[in-house]
Every structure is written in structure tokens, then in C-alpha cells.
Structure 1
Amino acid sequence: MRWKLLRRRLSISAPRMIVRSHLPWPMRWAVLALALGFSAALALWAFEFGRDIAGLDRLDRVQSPTPVASDATDLEQLRSERDKAQSIANTAESLLKTERTTQERLVGQIKALEAENMVLKGDLGFFERLLPTSGKAELVVRGLQAEVVGSGQLRYQLLVMQQGKAPTEFKGRYELTLRGQLGGQSWSQQPSGAQRSLQFRQYQRVDGMLEFPALVVVDALQVRVLDAQGGVRASQDVSL
């Protein structure tokens, strides 16, 4: 039996024997880590070498600033744009206020000019009515106007003129007489201030206010011009 076992071990059919060197596990892990590190370092070196040859690293440094610097630049640009927009808004508001003030002033001036135009038109109409008419009278009353402006108040205006190339100075007075109805009866009166003196060479404009009883309904005004001797030189009536 022993012989058979010995022959089997020495023959070709004997089991294969492997001789291995025995290394501890920490050494094996250290060798493996060194190999992996060397491979990674080699791969990184090859990658960086390729980037350097292609010039990509320099291009990135030129075109791509650092994130912090880029954010700061964007923030500064936004602030500058905000300040410009605020300045434009302030300027626009100031212009609007100035334009509004100018417009209000122009509206006031337009209203004043319209009122002055109305006054001028009234004066023009008044003086047009005062143009001399053909006639032989030397002294005339023109443009007599009267208007009741309140309870017991009447406003009047008239122009007394002397016709002729070289009129002499006139001295006299004028009298005003109101006519109307009071309680269904005819009524007439020369109110206080209805007589005033006149002294002119060519013309004299007269206007004023007359007072009368509030219950009277005035429907006419008469004016008479008297000379220094009391003679009537001209007269005119106007209906209200």
C-alpha cells in the first residue's frame, strides 16, 4: 500500500504542486494602493499635458474669470443700471412737475386774456355806437346804457360829445331820471347822485351807480345835458 502511494506521487498523474511566496495582507494592500496611485497620477499627468498642448488651460484663464469676480462685476453692473434708471425717473418726474406748473400758468394767462378780450370787445362796441352822426346839433349824448345789477341798484354809462371842427369848452351838468312802476302806478325820480357837473372840450365819458326803492320796477332811464344857464342842450332815453 505504501508503495502504491509513493509511486502515484512520483508518477505523471501525481497532483500539481504550486509554490507561492507568503506575503502578509497589509503588504498586499499597500502594494495595490501604490499601483493604483501611480496609475491615477500617470493618467492625470497625461490629461494635463494634453490640455497644455491644446492651449485650453490658457484660454480658460483668459476667458473665464473666477466665479467671485464675475458675481461682483455683475452686481456692480446691476447697481449702475439701477442708479441710471433712478436718475432717469427723477428727471422725468421733475420735467412732469415743471410741465404741469407751466400748463397751469398758461391756462391762467389764457383765461385772463379771454376776460381782457371780452372787455375790449365791449369797449369797442361802446365806442362804435359813439361815432358822430350827421346832424346840426353841436352837443349830443351817445352810447347811453343802463342795467339793473341788484335790488335797488342800476349801473349806467354814456358819452357826451361836441361836434364841430373847433368846439369851445363846455361847462354844465347832466341829470338822470328813472322811470318805472310802483304798485301799479307810474313812478319817476331823480336819485341821489343823478346830477353831476360836466366840463370838456370834445367829449367826456360818464358812468356810475344809482339807487332806487327795491319795490320799484325800473323800465327806463333818461339823461339831460344842461348848460351853465340851465338850458337843455341834449337828451336821450334808454329802455331797460
Structure 2
Amino acid sequence: MTISAPKMTIKRHLPWPALALLWAVAIGLAIAVAVWTYELGRNNLPGLQGDAGEQVETLSEQVKKLSAENERLQSASNASQNELKIAQTAQSQLAAQVKNLEAENNRQKEDLAFFDSLLPTNLGAPGITIQRFKAEVAAPSQVRYRVLVMQGGAATQQFTGNLQLSITVWQAGKSAIINFPETNSSDLARYRLAFKYYQRVEGLLNVPEGATIKAVAVRVLDRGQVRAQQSVDL
């Protein structure tokens, strides 16, 4: 009979002073590595240099200054835009006034020429004449006209009659004539003439959309008979 004894393992333990020394060396190495890493990162990254609080404060001041400058520039831009709009509005108003003054000046010249024709030496032959006739396209489907009808000679009786206008248009591939006033029109009064020396008539005429205006003619009628007529091409 054999009796076997259990195996025994003998572990060697370092003395505690040596173990403490090893731990101190390890901790020192870890601290050294951490310090070296921090210094390396601070030297390579500008954002980590200096005191972080001071940098944040400096950046905040710069942001405030830039914001204030941006607001100032925005205010100046808004003021400039407002001034530009005011100047453009004033320019448009002045242009409209100049246009109106030019039209009024031309009208006064026409009136002056007309009244000059009324002088005794310029009365002309007796009869009805169209002294002035102007027509222009005011819009794609609209014509503006002005007519000045005069009775020449030593007029002693009042003339009564009617004005008739005709517009020649090109529509749907063919020519057509539109007469004003139309039959049974409700605005016949605007075409009536009643004067001793002269009468001015002006207004707007509408044509169908898509029609191309070619010419406008005007006639003075006396009981259906043509006493005077003129036409203009547009």
C-alpha cells in the first residue's frame, strides 16, 4: 500500500518595500506620460495654448464686436435702400410731371395756332373744317383721339351735327372697319356737335382683343352728309 502526499506549490512573495517601490515607479511613469501627452497636445494645437478662460473671453468680445459691426452695416444698407427707393419714386414722379407738362405745352401751342386762325385776316372760307385731328394707340386694344372742328368765315349761325370715327383693323387674316358710334349706341351724346366757332372732342375707342390697328378716320356729318373728314395711319 502506497501513500502519496499532496503536491505543494511554493509562491515567492516580494517584500513589501520592493512592491511599494515598483508601484511608485509605475505611477511616476504614468504621470510622466500624461504630462508629456498634455504638453505635446498643447504645443501642437493652438486652441490649447494659454489660459482657456481668457481665450473664451477674447473670442466672446470679438463676436460681440462683429455682431455690432454687422448691425451697423445692416442699418446703413437699409437706409441706403430707403434713400434709393425715395430717389426712384421722385424720379418717376418728375418724369410723369415732365411728360404732362410737354403734353400741356403742345396743347397750348395748338390752341395758340387755332386762336390765331380765328383772327379776322385768317377766317378762311366759310364752311366746316377739321382743324386738328390726332389719334394714337393708347393700349393694344385702345385708341385715343382728339379732334378740333371749326366753322370758318364770319359765322353767324350755330352748327349742329355729329362726329363719326372709323378704325381700320386687321383681324383673323382680313381687314375690317369698326365705326363709332355704333348703331343704337347709348353714348351718342359724346359724338354730337353744337358750336358757332369751334368745338374740341376727345376720348378713347376700344377695339376687339387681338385686332391690329391700322388707321383711324374722322368725319363731320350734317344730317347724314359728310361736311369734313380726315384720316391718319397708325
TM-score normalized with structure 2 length: 0.49
For CA contacts below 8 A with separation 6 or more, give which structure has more relative contact order. 2
With the length of structure 1 as denominator, give the TM-score of the two structures.
0.48
